[in-house]
Structure 1
Amino acid sequence: MDVHPTPVPPPGCPAHDSGGGVPLYGPEFAADPQAYYDYLRHFGPTAPVELAPGVAATLVTDYAAALDLLRDPAFRKDARQWRDLRSGKVPEDSPVVPLLAYRPNCMFADGAEHQRLRLAVTESMMRIDSRRLAQITEQVSAYLIAQFSARGSADLMADYAKQLPLFVFNELFGCPAEIGDRVLFGIAGMFDGVNAAESAQLLHRAVGELVTLKRERPGDDVTSWLMGHEADLTDEEMVHQLSLLLGAGAEPLRNLIGNTLHRILTHDRGAYQDVRNAVNDTLWKNPPIANFAAHYPADDRMFAGQRVTTGQLMLISFAAANFGMALSESHHAANRASLAWSAGPHACPSQRPATGITVTAVDDLLGQLPDIELAVPARLLTWRPGPFHRGLNALPVRFSAVQAMGQPAVPVPAQHAMARAEHRAEHRRAGSAGKWSQFLAWLRK
């Protein structure tokens, strides 16, 4: 008879010394999250975790249980029901609160209010023409690649994956240069932790100006379509929906592009002649958002064999649920049913454009730099710590240098100096001409 030993926490996991939840933060978790998920599964379909010091949550790690929760209206999205935050047990300045606390947008709404806001967002996003989206993505990717192709080396996270989604979204949402620069700056600061509170305020003000502009001069863009929707959103509702779409859309897409490139560069390139297969494998085995989709039970109840209580914070582990299903006998490589986009009434409304942007961005990069390869051993790559996302700190690569047409090759040391100077200058000017202005100038040559 087989004897299965009781799993123990991964090396370095503070759960070794505590009876509390398993921590999903810190370098140990970021380095090997699957070891943590393997350990969490011994609790059953749900497990006690800690998102930050003192912030307890229940994590759903089983695929079937995750689907049940995501589709069950008895689990609410309104974060004002979060019991531990209401009671003061979770400090308001906790690093996870900004992404979990209530805002008046469709992600935190339930019932009829959710349907009204969600329909406006979904129908506006559906109006994006796939050919126009591909054209914009190709233009942005060509611009970004031209900035580093002559060097023969790059960090694909900082130089490509991080910037491309923001540039594409600015175009789709009709941001003029004077507003788009601040949108880029605000989003980057929020996710990079560079004066996060000030960056969030900057983004909010910039989006407010965009709403005012589009009220006066609507255009052929997502902002104007959302504004003209029959849901008749107020200016405040517009600002919150747009901030959600711009901010929450940028981080997952950044990681999806980076993680897909990581998968291609660390596996047999021949297995991914079709980039869509690499994207699909990434969504199953290394999704860009690992743990999220906060829900709160509306009452005390049993769920997946465990008792849960009103207002208890519950999250879905897309990474654990997907990986467990991907290892099962019933899974097939072409299966598109991963939970990376969530499921149920709150499934990601940007799945189609996000997939299109990723496929085009990766295809363009590999097409222009066909001999691209990792510049360091894969084992030396590091991942950004945090309970929610799954993204690389950096993805250094090398390739045969390509001189951009009409541009003289710049020596590598000078390029590095220019990049550092640009980085410093951007942080000095949160509103003057920046990267978005530079891209628009390049596009109109």
Structure 2
Amino acid sequence: MSTTPTPPPGCPAHGSSPGGLRRLYGLEAEADPMGLYEKLRAEHGPVAPVLVHGDLPAWLVLGHAENLHVAHNPSLFSRDSRLWGDMKEGNVPPDHPLTPVAAWQPVCNFVDGGDHKRLRGAVTTATGRFDRRGIRHHVSRQAHALIDRFEGVGQADLVSDFATYLPMLVMTRLVGMPESYGPKLVEAARDMLQGTDTAVASNSYITVALEQLVERKRTTPGHDLATFLIEDPARLTDAEIIEHLRLVLIGAFEKTANLIANTLRLVLTDNRFRNSLSGGHMTLPDALDQILWDEPPLTTILGRWATSDTDLAGYRIKAGDMLLLGLAAGNVDPAIRPDLAIPLHGNRSHLAFGGGPHDCPGQDIGRAIADTGIEILLARLPDLTLSCSEGDLRWTSSLMSRHLTALPVEFTARSTAKSSPRKGASLPPQRRAEPDSEAVPTGVEGAREGKPTSFFSRLLRG
């Protein structure tokens, strides 16, 4: 059996879990993950021994420099989960909540060296074949279609009505999957990433859908990610293609949905940005940069595995030990951010997309979806206001992410054409009755005649 990590001499351990270690799951972690990270930092420094699901031991990397060190040294800290001691010893069975995200797969995120270069090169080439203008076109159609469904009501939940669905609807189209799959994939992806009791079943649903997609694209190619990977000179196997489609699809979904929701919450509630906007110095990219520092879409990344015994920040890391990159904790490391109130516009040395050879391969697509979707929403509804107090907002947390449960807003209801969905748009089940109305322009530039005077208008113009 693997042993529980022990703090170095003079470093106390607290908590009621085995060995006195704090759990990264359960009530404390879910209620206030950032508070837990700061407790761990105070108790242990830039690296902390913790427990993950099933009370399996792991190391949480809290320091910014330490996160970069682990991410940039795959020879010491590999992405190959087959090195995990607990995995070898049978402590991570197929139905374990972490199996969908930790079990080894033939994908670039689980290999290093030459295999990583071959697979990552294929993904980079394939995603690079989508230009930003083409992605914006897909985002625009889906965003307008979603807004059409609540624009005439005068109120909406920007999490469930917009942020949760937009990334997956766009990515469904980009990977080449039938658009009707989008809403179902949203539910399966979120369930899988939260590590619920049904996470394995949700993972299976996604895998079967992708298997059918690859089989179809081998006979009917198109301008989509599945076809690009099939045609790549690296000659990926079907298993490799399926897993990389899954990687891009799920990665873009969770990160981008959280990025959109968090950014919208920021521009609706933070007086720093309202004051900046009045002076014309704030832009939407600035808001996105700030969120990627303060509230990264993923709080942690699981995982890295030590290839041999080594030292990290005074701890003895044993071969086979698992490490988690603490993205959210590293971004607020006092060593690099002694004053969290100082804005970080244009500073992209954050850890939101990881780092090193395994940084997020879909970060440009994700940011393009968030930037375009938010831009369209604020242009269509320039008088958006939060319809509850900021203190009433609630979050749910899991091992790797923290996201808003709802972001209720109100605005001036606008008449919308009662018609079929816009061409190319795949929508979730209707939540509210469609009002009788008139058509609205489909382009952002024609959202409404006149010049809106809200701070959102200044946000878009910078």
Once the two structures are superposed, residues 26-79 of structure 1 have per-residue CA deviations (whole angstroms, 9 ceiling, x without a partner) of 343333322212211121210012222412210010001111111112111111
1:58 counterpart residue number = 59
SS at match of 1:405: coil
Q: CA deviation at 1:399?
A: 1.6
Alignment of 1:36-51 (within 5 A): 36-42=36-42, 43-51=44-52
* Distance 1:177-1:392 versus aligned 2 partners, 3 A rule: closer
* CA displacement, residues 176-213 of structure 1 (integer Å, 9 cap, x when unaligned): 34665664564355347594333322221111111111
SS state at 2:123 partner: helix
Which of 367, 371, 395 is residue 379 of structure 2 equivalent to?
A: 367
TM-score between both structures, scaled by the size of structure 1: 0.84
Q: Which residue, out of 396, 399, 402, partners 1:384?
A: 396
- Deviation for aligned residue 1:248: 2.5
Tell whether 2:26 aligns with 1:23.
no
Q: CA shift at 1:247, angstroms? A: 1.7
CA separation in 1, counterparts of 2:407 and 2:180? Answer: 31
For the structure 1 residues 31 and 261, does the alpha-carbon distance in structure 2 shift closer, same or farther, using more than 3 Å as the test?
Answer: farther
> What's the Cα RMSD here?
2.7
2:406 is matched with 394
Q: 2:49 is aligned with what amino acid?
A: P
Distance in 2, Cα, partners of 1:66 & 1:331? 22
| Alpha-carbon distance in 1 for matches of 2:185, 2:39 | 40
Q: Contact conserved, 2:289 with 2:344, CA < 8 A, in 1?
A: no
Q: CA deviation at 1:396?
A: 1.6
Give the Cα separation in 2 of the matches to 1:420 and 1:366: 21
Q: Distance in 2 between matches of 1:194 and 1:362?
A: 33
Aligned equivalent of 2:301: 292
Distance 1:157 1:181 in 2: 14
CA shift at 1:92, angstroms?
4.3
1:328 is matched with 338
367-376 or 351-360, larger mean C-alpha shift: 367-376
Question: Residue 140 of structure 1 aligns with which residue?
Answer: 142
* 1:359-387 alpha-carbon deviations (Å, 9 max, x no partner): 11111111111121222222222211211
Other-structure match for 1:319:
328
Matched residue of 2:396: which SS? coil
Maintained 8 Å contact 1:284/1:340: yes
2: distance between equivalents of 1:189 and 1:304?
A: 35
Question: Quick one: which of 283, 287, 290 aligns to 2:292?
Answer: 283
CA displacement 1:5-41 (0-9 Å, x = unmatched): x9999xxxx8167643222223433333222122111
Change (3 A) 1:204 1:87: same
Structure 1, unmatched stretches of 5+, are 1-5, 409-416, 422-445
**How many residues align structurally?**
405
* C-alpha spacing 1:93/1:20, structure 2 compared with 1 (3 Å): farther
Aligned to 1:425: none
Cα distance in 2 for partners of 1:220, 1:90 equals: 39
TM-score of the two chains, using structure 2 as the length reference: 0.81
Letter in 2 for 1:399: F
Partner SS, residue 50 of structure 1: strand
Of residues 63-72 and 96-105 in structure 1, the stretch that sits farther from structure 2 once superposed is 96-105
Residues of 2 paired with 1:229 and 1:361: CA distance? 30
Matched, 1:149 2:158: no
- 1:159 matched residue in structure 2: 161
Q: In the alignment, is the contact (CA less than 8 A) between 1:183 and 1:206 conserved in 2?
A: no
Distance 2:411 2:154 in 1: 5
Q: Does 1:344 align with 2:356?
A: yes
How far did residue 142 of structure 1 move?
Answer: 0.3
Partner Cα distance (1:144, 1:179) in 2: 16
Q: Are the structure 2 counterparts of residues 223 and 90 from structure 1 closer, same or farther at C-alpha, using a change threshold of 3 Å?
A: closer
Aligned-pair CA distance for 1:83: 0.5
Aligned residue for 1:138, secondary structure, equals helix
Q: 1:418, 1:133 → 2: CA distance? A: 25
Do the aligned residues in 1 keep the contact of 2:297 with 2:401 (CA within 8 Å)? yes
**Residue 334 of structure 1, CA deviation:** 2.6
Contact kept? 2:107, 2:244, Cα under 8 Å: yes
Counterpart pick for 1:306 among 315, 319, 329: 315
Q: Is the 8 A contact 1:182 1:202 kept in 2?
A: no
The partner residue of 1:241 within 239, 244, 260 is: 244
Deviation at 1:418, TM superposition (A): 5.2
| 2:276 counterpart of 1:250 | no
Counterpart CA distance in 2 for 1:49 and 1:94 is 18
Q: What residue is the counterpart of 1:199 in the other structure?
A: 202
- Higher helix content, 1 or 2: 1
1:332 CA drift (Å): 4.4
Moved more, 147-156 or 345-354: 147-156
Cα distance in 1 for residues equivalent to 2:414 and 2:184 = 31
- Structure 1 residues 418, 350: closer, same or farther in 2, change over 3 A? closer
CA distance in 1, matches of 2:124, 2:169: 21
The percentage of aligned residue pairs carrying the same residue is 34
Note the C-alpha offset of 1:352: 1.1
Deviation at 1:166, TM superposition (A): 0.7
Moved more, 268-277 or 173-182: 173-182
CA distance in 2, matches of 1:146, 1:359: 19
**Cα deviation, residue 401, structure 1:** 1.4
SS in 1 for 2:395: coil
User: Are 1:69 and 2:81 an aligned pair?
Assistant: no
Name the CA distance, whole Å, in 1 between partners of 2:164 and 2:394: 16
* Unaligned stretches of 5+ residues in structure 2: 1-9, 421-428, 434-462
The answer to whether the 8 Å contact 1:8/1:39 transfers is no
Tell me, yes or no, if the aligned pair for 1:100 and 1:294 is still in contact at 8 Å.
yes
Question: What do residues 386-422 of structure 1 show as CA deviations (whole Å, max 9, x unaligned)?
Answer: 11112112222222212213459xxxxxxxx95289x
**CA distance, structure 2, for counterparts of residue 194 and residue 399 of structure 1:** 39
Greater shift in the superposed pair: 208-217 or 88-97: 88-97
SS at match of 2:118: helix
CA distance in 1, matches of 2:376, 2:430: 25
Which residue is equivalent to 2:270? 267
What secondary structure, in the 3-state scheme, does the structure 2 residue paired with 1:400 have? coil
Residues 293 and 342 of structure 1 are in contact (CA less than 8 Å); yes or no, is this contact kept in structure 2? Answer: no
Q: Secondary structure at the match of 1:122?
A: helix
Tell me the residue number matched to 2:444.
none
